[in-house]
A and B are shown apart, each in its own frame.
Chain A
């Protein structure tokens, strides 16, 4: 029993020692960032310029084009293969004096910045990226100005290259200026974009798109959806929608634009054909259309299961059911006027009844 305990202890101790040693050896190394294509000078610690040292990279001899000048190693025209852990050993005792982790890269170029508001009127977010890689760690500083004031910027927890800003006011006449600076050990570069509040509004696509056949209607499909969940206030900031649909076998889409309604009935579907349907959303007045929603498929109701045949224009004529006028897209005034005439008629009826009862 005691033997087992002792051996376990020994193993644990050995592991700890190894890890500590490894850590220590790496801790000694300092990182040196250099530009691709340049000549790099590495200095061996605080040794005299005339001291004699031996250089190794990742434990092996340095084979690249170089000049050794006393305690300095000069690598010529470095590239990505020059990356490595360089160690220098003092001659003749062979004691290691320094360790340099050489990382070769590029200074940053202008970052590409875009901003968008999918949560209008709450706020907007900006994303950025570098078109060309720097190969070394690069940070970004973001600054947002509006009406000569700096706005508070909140970095996204998940997306590294994204930040969020709240709109300080609505219907502003002042533009927003977003400045993103890319910074790394070799340099910095910034880019500024300017925009007006209304131009960056772009909602997320509509959600929960459902298309269903309607029983006993061979040419109809009922489509329902909901406003994107990221849009905070669809009541005060209503959306309008764009619905497009086509049978799978055709390339041309048909379009319907709908205001402030989350359902629509397609009344001119080809009998028995499978349809693909998509939706997009936009603020009623400002900004741009969202991306298309996820596509849904649906086939109109048929009396018995039909195999999908190749369609021709003639097939349209075989359907003799008259399609009544399209619903939902009617302006609301029409509904009010309709209600009015019903009221008029019923009041006339009432009058007639009263007159009759008097005469009776």
Chain B
């Protein structure tokens, strides 16, 4: 007779614990989902802000380069990949649509890692101090974006690609060619393309994060 209340007592305790665990887990999930959506939203806003900032910097940079770069509608041919290893934002619609969340984020991360280095190099070779400080300021925004993307990948449980996949960043192979006696014009063309590709990526990323937001909500 004395045993029965104890059994009931134990069962009730177990139930209580289970309920508490269940509640906290559900709480955790909904909180983290909400925070992920917030961080995606924030990353989205950041890309739009950087896109807007880049337009101004690009205009200044193109007038700094002078004609023909400062001419409207001027578009030099893209340097071949041996001298410039820029990631292209261009893709087929069907491929872009079907990207897995993790792959989508990884592509963004890889692109901005390379582009950040490229813009840093651009800044260091710019002779105009105002332009140089604008570019460096922009770099800090870009690295903030990179941090946000990496953070997102961690929260969503996607392993960031091993550093072996990304070309060495620590200055051994510069993104912009430092080939023997680089042609001044070809260096300008490379600078043009760094900023052009960056613009395309920022426009693409905004749509990437929008897509991610929707997929996570589903």
A residues contacting B by CB (< 8 A) are 121-122, 148, 167, 169-175, 194, 198, 233, 235-238, 284-286, 331-333, 336-337, 339-340, 343-344, 347, 350-351, 354-355, 357-358
B64 at the binding interface (Cβ < 8 Å): no
- Is A354 a contact of B12 with CB atoms below 8 Å? yes
CB neighbours (8 Å) of B23 from chain A are: 343, 347, 350-351
- Is A169 a contact of B92 with CB atoms below 8 Å? yes
- Is B73 a contact of A340 with CB atoms below 8 Å? no
- Listed from nearest, the 7 A-B pairs whose CB atoms lie closest are A336-B34, A347-B23, A171-B204, A194-B73, A171-B89, A169-B90, A173-B200
- The B contact surface, by secondary structure, is helix
Q: Mark B22-34, 1 if CB is under 8 A from A, else 0.
A: 0110110011011
- Is B90 a contact of A171 with CB atoms below 8 Å? yes
CB distance from A248 to the nearest CB of B (A): 37
Number of A-B contacts (CB under 8 A): 103
CB distance from A162 to the nearest CB of B (A): 23
Determine the residue in chain A with the shortest Cβ distance to B33: A336
- Is A238 a contact of B92 with CB atoms below 8 Å? no
**Which residues 167-218 of B have a CB within 8 angstroms of A?**
193, 196-197, 199-201, 203-204, 206-207, 210-211, 214, 217
5 more A-B contacts (CB under 8 A) besides A171-B201, A337-B34, A339-B34? A171-B96, A173-B196, A336-B37, A339-B30, A351-B23
B120 at the binding interface (Cβ < 8 Å): no
- Is B207 a contact of A285 with CB atoms below 8 Å? yes
CB neighbours (8 Å) of B89 from chain A are: 171-173
B residues contacting A by CB (< 8 A) are 9, 12-13, 15-16, 19-20, 23-24, 26-27, 30-31, 33-34, 37-38, 41, 48, 51, 73, 75, 77-78, 88-93, 96-97, 193, 196-197, 199-201, 203-204, 206-207, 210-211, 214, 217
CB neighbours (8 Å) of B34 from chain A are: 333, 336-337, 339-340
A148 to B26, CA, bound (A): 55
CB neighbours (8 Å) of A354 from chain B are: 12, 15-16, 19
Task: Give 14 pairs: A residue, B residue, CB < 8 Å, sorted on A.
Answer: A121-B93, A170-B96, A170-B204, A171-B89, A171-B90, A171-B200, A172-B89, A173-B78, A173-B88, A336-B30, A336-B34, A340-B30, A347-B26, A350-B19
Contact A172-B37, Cβ < 8 Å, known A351-B19, A354-B16: no
- Is B27 a contact of A343 with CB atoms below 8 Å? yes
CB distance from B127 to the nearest CB of A (A): 26
